[in-house]
Amino acid sequence: MEEITVKVLLLGDDNVGKTTFLSRISGGGSSLDGRASFSLLRDTDQPFIFEVRNRRRTYRLEFSDTSSPENWRSLEPDLVLICYDISQRSSLTNMQNVWIKEVHSCFRAGDQLPKMVVGLKRDLRSEDDANGTIYPQEGYMVAQEMRVDKYVECSAATGELLKLAFEEICKMAAQTTTTAGAQSEGGCAIL
C-alpha cells in the first residue's frame, strides 16, 4: 500500500492548546473520546507522526507546532491549522492580525495553501463571560473573513468534538494529495 506524507503545521499563540491537542490525538482512536489518559508530548520530538489509513492509501501525517522547530517558517506545509483558544479573545485577534499574515508571507503557496481554523479549549466556553468567550458563530465568521477552508472546534481535555475535528483534519490532509486539492470552493465550511 502506497504511503503518502502530508506535512501539517499548527500555528497560533502560546498556550492556546496546540500541544494538548496533539498529545490527545497521539493516543490514537481510543484517546479521542476524552476518557483515556495521556501524557503531553515534548516540543523537541517534532514532527509528531501519525499514520492514517483509508481503503486505498496510508497517509503519514507529520504535525509540527510553532513551539518547535525553532524556524518553523522554513517548513513547507501541505496544510496549515490556525489555532486559537475559545476562552481568550486575544488569541482570536492574533489569529486574524498575526497568524494569517504569517501564512501569506512565509509560504510560497500562501493563498493556495489549504487552511483550517481550529477553536481549542471548547470546554472553557462560559455563558457567563459575554466579553471573552468566542461562540461558534463568531469564530466561523472570522474564519470566513480570513478566507480559510474549514472551521472546527474541540476540547482536547474532555474529548468534546475531538474525533470529528481529527477526522476533518485527516480528510483535508488526504485531499491535499489529490489534483483537486483541499481548498474549498467559495468559502469556509463549519463542522
Domains and CATH numbers, the chain: 3-190 (3.40.50.300)
Q: What percent of the chain has pLDDT over 70?
A: 81
Which residue(s) pair with 116 in the sheet?
81, 150
- Going by pLDDT thresholds of 50, 70 and 90, the confidence category of residue 16 is very high
C-alpha cell at 93: 485577534
Residues ≥6 apart with Cβ < 8 Å to 50:
25, 26, 60, 61, 63
Q: Are strands 58-65 and 48-53 parallel, antiparallel or unpaired?
A: antiparallel
Cell numbers placing 13: 499563540
What letter would DSSP give residue 31? G
pLDDT digits (tens, 9 = 90+) for 121-130: 998 887 776 6
The pLDDT score that the predictor gives to residue 1 is 62
Banded model confidence at residue 139, pLDDT cuts 50, 70, 90: very high
Confidence of residue 118 (pLDDT cuts 50, 70, 90): very high
Rounded Cα distance between 32 and 39, Å, is: 14
Distance, CA of 5 to CA of 94 (rounded, Å): 30
In this model, does residue 95 exceed pLDDT 90? yes
Length, in residues, of the chain? 191
Q: What percent of the chain has pLDDT over 90?
A: 38
Confidence (pLDDT) at 40: 75
Distance CA 93, CA 70 (A): 24
- Residue that the C-alpha cell 469556509 belongs to: 188
pTM for this model (two decimals): 0.86
Q: What pLDDT, on a 0 to 100 scale, did the predictor assign at position 36?
A: 66
Question: Cell numbers 500500500 correspond to what residue?
Answer: 1
Task: Count other C-beta atoms under 10 Å from residue 113's C-beta.
Answer: 23
Strands 58-65 and 150-153: unpaired
